[in-house]
Amino acid sequence: MNTTILLFLLQDGITNGAIYALLGLALVLVFAVTRVILIPQGEFITFGALTYASLSAGQMPGTIKLAVAMGIVAFAFDLFTFRRALHAKRVLRSVAVNIIVPLAIWGVMLALSGRPANIAVNITLSLLIVAAIGLYLYRIAYQPIAHTSVLVLLIASVGCHLALQGFGLVFFGAEGQRGPAISSDAITIGALRFTGQSIAVYGITIALIVGLWLFFGYTLYGKALRATAVNRLGARLAGIRTTLSGQIAFLLASVIGAISGILIVPITTLYYDTGFLIGLKGFVAAIIGGLVSYPLTAAAAILVGCVEAFSSFYASNYKEVIVFTLILPVLVLRSLAAPAVEEEKD
């Protein structure tokens, strides 16, 4: 192996790894706060990427209709929950969040359609749509069963994944799509060529990680989210609404998923079901991080990216086998290292 190939593979691995890191962080966040293992994270990636690609191609993505429809269902769920105490303030807030927001996004999209595509506007719209879908998904699918076991929540995740993936096929078809790069510049350092896109990947990943760190360490809402993750009943007794924490977690996760998708779609062709596999690799990283540690998850994600890059070079047939088997020795090590002390609470 020569150095150029080594460096090239490393660069490739780190770029992918950065994306997996973002996804892994989002998975850890959602799991810690809501105990949901977010399998539909993959669909947030796909929806973000393909919404952005469609907008860039001057098409109206179907995801906005989904957002509007889910908003209406979420509003109906809210009304049903409020039925005993129907305060005008609550209902109005629900109308604003669930009905007006998606309609407003749709309105902006209609107003802008036909004009030349602006990357920043398209990215913003894509993020907003996916964020809305993430928020409503929590309201509709998870909030009513928020108190059940991890297993039930996990199965619900599978249901959401299946349904959303089905919608993905309906909206975007079976054909793959690519989107325009955020930056088409490139720098060359020695034998390595850094595209603007890969630099954007690094920059945005680092910015998001630092942002999350500040959010959790220094803001009241960030601390409230952590509190919910540590002790749900304790958080509720302090007046922190579990549903609020869940909504914030899903908002963050869906935005992070969509950003990842938008970062990838200029590099690789994405299909309606690609997100699932990408999400699963973020998952591998999250699991290696034990679903609790953010820094470990980020490091593991880089490792996953590199292993993937090297195995696709040396044993491309067994790439997926290697990536997913990687998890096992790590899990065993973690189990051995972790003290086998049983939690006193159940």
Q: Stretches 18-26, 45-53, 177-185, 224-232: which one binds other proteins (CB under 8 A)?
A: 224-232
Task: Tell me how far apart the alpha carbons of residues 245 and 248 are, in angstroms, rounded to a whole number.
Answer: 5
Joined together, the tokens standing for residue 275 give: 């997100």
1 vs 237, beta carbon nearer other proteins: 237
Structural tokens at position 131:
């964020």
Q: Which is nearer to other proteins, 115 or 218 (CB)?
A: 218
* SS3 per-residue string spanning 112-136: HCCCCCCHHHHHHHHHHHHHHHHHH
Window 147-206: residues binding other proteins (CB under 8 A): 148-152, 154-156, 158-167, 169-170
* Nearest distance in Å: CB 126, other proteins: 21
Beta carbons within 8 Å of 99's beta carbon, 6+ residues apart: 71, 72, 75
Among 26, 36, 70, 291, binds other proteins (CB under 8 A): 291
Contact status: 294 vs other proteins (CB under 8 A): no
Residues between 89 and 128 with contacts to other proteins, criterion CB under 8 A: none
Return the number of the residue (178 or 334) whose C-beta is nearest other proteins.
Answer: 334
As given in the structure block, the two tokens for residue 89 are 């303030």
Minimum Å distance from CB 119 to other proteins?
30
Query: Please, which residue, 127 or 130, has the CB nearer to other proteins?
Result: 130
Q: What is the nearest approach in angstroms of other proteins to the Cβ of residue 294?
A: 13
β-partners of residue 186 are 195
If the CB atoms of residues 65 and 223 are measured against other proteins, the closer one turns out to be 223
Separation between Cα atoms, residue 128 and residue 101, nearest integer Å: 9
When the beta carbons of 167 and 310 are compared against other proteins, the nearer one is 167
Task: Let me know if 102 is exposed, middle or buried by CB neighbors in 10 A (0-12, 13-18, 19+).
Answer: buried
β-partners of residue 189 are: 192
- 344 contributes a contact to other proteins by CB under 8 A: yes
User: Residues 231 to 290: which contact other proteins by CB under 8 A?
Assistant: 231, 233-241, 280, 283-284, 287, 290
- Tally of CB atoms within 10 A around 336: 8
Taking the complex as a whole, the smallest distance from the CB of residue 292 to other proteins amounts, in Å, to: 9
Residue 320 interacts with other proteins (CB under 8 A)?
yes
Candidates 53-61, 176-184, 202-210, 334-342; binding stretch for other proteins (CB under 8 A):
334-342
Which of 209, 223, 293, 296 touches other proteins by CB under 8 A? 223
Element containing residue 209 per DSSP (H, E)? helix 196-218
Nearest to 133 by CA among 284, 229, 261: 261
* CB 234 to other proteins: min, Å: 3
Q: Which of residues 67-86 bind other proteins (CB under 8 A)?
A: 84-85
Interatomic CA distance for residues 284 and 329, integer angstroms: 12
Q: What is the rounded CA–CA span in Å between residue 15 and residue 285?
A: 14
What's the CA gap between 88 and 65, in Å, rounded? 27
Smallest gap from residue 86 Cβ to other proteins (A): 12
Closer residue to other proteins in complex, CB, 199/280: 280
The closest alpha carbon to 254, from 285, 279, 281, 230, belongs to: 279
3-state secondary structure of 177: strand
Write each residue from 4 to 43 as x if it is in contact with other proteins (CB under 8 A), else as -, in one continuous string: ---------------------------x-----x------
- CA-nearest of 42, 35, 38 to 19 is 42
Q: Which stretch binds other proteins (CB under 8 A): 185-193, 253-261, 299-307, 315-323?
A: 315-323
